């Protein structure tokens, strides 16, 4: 079973700390600074939405260059192989994959000189799927469970209300066992099976 991160909307306070820590952690390792999760809100609740690490991941199936593969019980993305075809984002049923423009490290953002015309202004942003900025390569962004960190996902470490949890195979089995035990406790004492009521006429 793939590991995945899940959030409890009853505990989430919508502070965006998980997004900030995710961004900083990946940037420190030379990866896209775009956060791998997005906090969504409605009138009553808030919770981060992130990759579900699907067992039969549709994003990996449609990737034409095998940039998305299953490794270490998770669906991992190799940013250097991504060709920005955006098929993974379209195939994801949860909207958990977005795209962020990758700026080469050694090229300054504003390289205007007196010997050349000024660089054109960036076009107005429309959508990660539609935006095209000249000179920048859009790369897929998805949760990788901070596989490069021995301490695990940064969002879990920094969540102030402990609303985010890493679900492993052992935790999933324990949860299922607890549910089965709880189901046994809802019946009255001595009742071991559900029998059809006696409807025979006397």
pLDDT digits (tens, 9 = 90+) for 131-148: 776 667 889 999 999 988
Average pLDDT for 188-194: 53
pLDDT of residue 9: 92
> Does residue 191 have a pLDDT over 80?
no
pLDDT of residue 157: 94
> Does residue 13 have a pLDDT over 90?
yes
Residue with tokens 């000024």: 118
pLDDT in tens, 87-118: 999 999 999 999 988 665 555 556 666 666 66
The pair phi, psi for residue 157, each rounded to 5°, is -65, -35
Residue with tokens 């006429």: 201
| Contact (CB, 8 A) for 129 and 91 | no
pLDDT in tens, 38-74: 999 998 899 999 999 999 999 999 999 999 999 888 8
Token reading at 187: 């019946």
| Contact (CB, 8 A) for 5 and 166 | yes
Q: Is the pTM of this model over 0.75?
A: no
pLDDT of residue 188: 57
Instruction: Report the alpha-carbon distance of residue 63 to residue 58 in Å, rounded.
Output: 9
pLDDT of residue 179: 82
Task: Give the number of C-alpha atoms closer than 13 A to the C-alpha of residue 200, restricted to the C-beta side.
Answer: 2
Find, among 141, 138, 36, the residue nearest to 84 by Cα: 138
Alpha carbon of 22 to those of 56, 152, 159, 177: distances in Å? Answer: 25, 11, 11, 32
pLDDT of residue 120: 65
Instruction: Report the alpha-carbon distance of residue 133 to residue 122 in Å, rounded.
Output: 6
Instruction: Report the alpha-carbon distance of residue 64 to residue 153 in Å, rounded.
Output: 28
Instruction: Report the alpha-carbon distance of residue 82 to residue 150 in Å, rounded.
Output: 25
Distance of CA 101 to the CA centre of its chain: 18
């Amino acid at each position: 079973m793939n590991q995945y991160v899940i959030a409890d909307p009853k505990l989430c306070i919508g502070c965006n700390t998980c997004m900030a820590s995710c961004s900083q952690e990946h940037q420190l390792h030379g990866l896209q600074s775009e956060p791998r999760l997005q906090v969504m809100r409605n009138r009553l609740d808030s919770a981060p939405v992130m990759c579900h690490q699907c067992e039969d991941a549709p994003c990996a199936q449609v990737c034409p260059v095998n940039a998305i593969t299953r490794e270490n019980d998770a669906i991992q993305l190799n940013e250097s192989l991504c060709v920005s075809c955006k098929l993974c984002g379209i195939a994801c049923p949860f909207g958990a994959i977005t795209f962020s423009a990758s700026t080469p490290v050694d090229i300054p953002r504003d390289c205007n000189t007196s010997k050349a015309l000024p660089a054109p202004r960036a076009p107005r942003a429309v959508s990660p799927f539609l935006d095209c900025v000249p000179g920048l390569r859009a790369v897929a962004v998805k949760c990788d469970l901070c596989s490069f960190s021995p301490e695990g996902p940064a969002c879990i470490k920094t969540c102030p209300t402990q609303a985010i949890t890493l679900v492993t195979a052992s935790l999933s089995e324990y949860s299922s066992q607890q549910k089965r035990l709880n189901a046994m406790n809802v019946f009255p004492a001595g009742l071991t099976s559900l029998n059809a009521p006696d409807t025979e006429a006397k």
